[in-house]
A and B are shown apart, each in its own frame.
Chain A
């Protein structure tokens, strides 16, 4: 029936699906801009709430940046599979003749590029507002780059399990916030070490381990979660 085609390989499929999701995100910019806007707005709240004193702010800055990045990620995960579930694309993804755990990776990569990646690029600017010196910027960007990817992978598991439930947003945050605790602790630690002149290598290494572990393990859980949601 369908003749074996040169571009029938897995790699072409993943590249095509990543392109598809990036195109969809570009075509509906709200999906990209929302987490970034949220990140900026909430960061501004802290000086207003805690007072403008630079010393105090820069002492709290690592924690603030990371908590806000975490919350932005939770918001992102609430909409992660919602549209595809509603219009039937998720069903078709499960019908592709390849393991669902692999088929779901392109969408995660595209979502991360459009959110976590951009967020970590922009974060030094927000850090300045909180008194984080520019010298810390590379560590800030590196830790957020990895941290947002881990949080997306973990959050996607919760998203997969709650996509079939109406008003699953609150439930999603209840499911994934406990899983975010280690990422928050290690991420904030890398920043505090960097600000304090210590050595952030250990924390960054742990984040790296989190990324590799997450990339290997969570797609399996995400695929299982999606199959459960597709049963509804």
Chain B
């Protein structure tokens, strides 16, 4: 049963006086993997934030989506003075708090076992990135909106994340992400090149 998670009809996105994107039409259903591609400054992040509902003032047109959304932006939303466990248990976007076993399983999937209770500030940038991505390995929302999820990840990390994407899509979820390099997700991956929707 494929339900529509996100629907966009003739969407225009502005950045102050400049029109970034125009006339965008898109429907994202369960099980789809969508990559937003395009050069720097074409408006990938702005579009993703529009999908998330964080950008509304300069977005015009019809945009409707399901309420069950997980957004991950450039900033990892982690507090340095807390441990990964505390960060993930009291995550501001998480309406329900994961149990310890789910937490350990998620952190293990990103081979962060042993760091659950260390101070996040003392972890390396790559490790902090993995803690931020651990949310994807917890029971989470159906529609994922991920901004550059593969940055600061080593090869192993990228592969783990790609598998998770496929798994999530098979479970009836959907992933929309921005990325510079081509993601190895096979033919299921649709790539939306925003260059063709560039404003005047």
The reply to whether chain A is a binding partner of chain B is yes
B-contacting residues of A (Cβ < 8 Å)?
A: 1-3, 5, 7-8, 12-13, 16-17, 19-20, 23-24, 27-28, 86-98, 103, 227-228, 230-231
Which B residues are in CB contact (< 8 Å) with A16? 89-90, 97
Per DSSP, chain B at the interface is loop
Assess the A13–B68 pair: CB atoms within 8 A.
no
Bound complex: CA A20 to CA B171 (Å) = 32
Which A residues are in CB contact (< 8 Å) with B86? 20, 23
Assess the B71–A2 pair: CB atoms within 8 A.
no
Cβ of B54 within 8 Å of any chain A Cβ, yes or no, is yes
Assess the A20–B54 pair: CB atoms within 8 A.
no
Assess the A12–B97 pair: CB atoms within 8 A.
yes
Bound complex: CA A227 to CA B55 (Å) = 8
With contacts A17-B90, A86-B75, A87-B77 taken as known, whether A2 is within 8 angstroms of B55 at the C-beta atoms is no
Interface residues as binary, B141-156 with A (CB distance below 8 Å gives 1, 0 otherwise): 1100000000000000
With contacts A2-B139, A27-B82, A230-B54 taken as known, whether A8 is within 8 angstroms of B95 at the C-beta atoms is yes
Cβ of B140 within 8 Å of any chain A Cβ, yes or no, is yes
Bound complex: CA A93 to CA B73 (Å) = 12
29 of the cross-chain contacts (CB-CB < 8 Å) are A1-B68, A1-B172, A1-B173, A2-B68, A2-B139, A3-B139, A5-B96, A8-B95, A12-B97, A16-B90, A17-B90, A19-B90, A20-B92, A88-B77, A89-B77, A89-B79, A89-B92, A91-B71, A93-B92, A94-B54, A95-B53, A95-B69, A95-B71, A96-B93, A96-B95, A97-B67, A97-B68, A97-B69, A231-B58
A33 to chain B, nearest CB (A): 15
A-contacting residues of B (Cβ < 8 Å)?
A: 52-58, 67-71, 73-79, 81-82, 86, 89-97, 139-142, 171-173
Per DSSP, chain A at the interface is helix
B70 — nearest CB in chain A belongs to which residue?
A95
Assess the B56–A27 pair: CB atoms within 8 A.
no
Assess the A87–B95 pair: CB atoms within 8 A.
no
Task: Kindly identify which residue among A2, A23, A91, A230 contacts B77, using a CB–CB cutoff of 8 Å.
Answer: A91
B169 to chain A, nearest CB (A): 12
Bound complex: CA A3 to CA B138 (Å) = 11
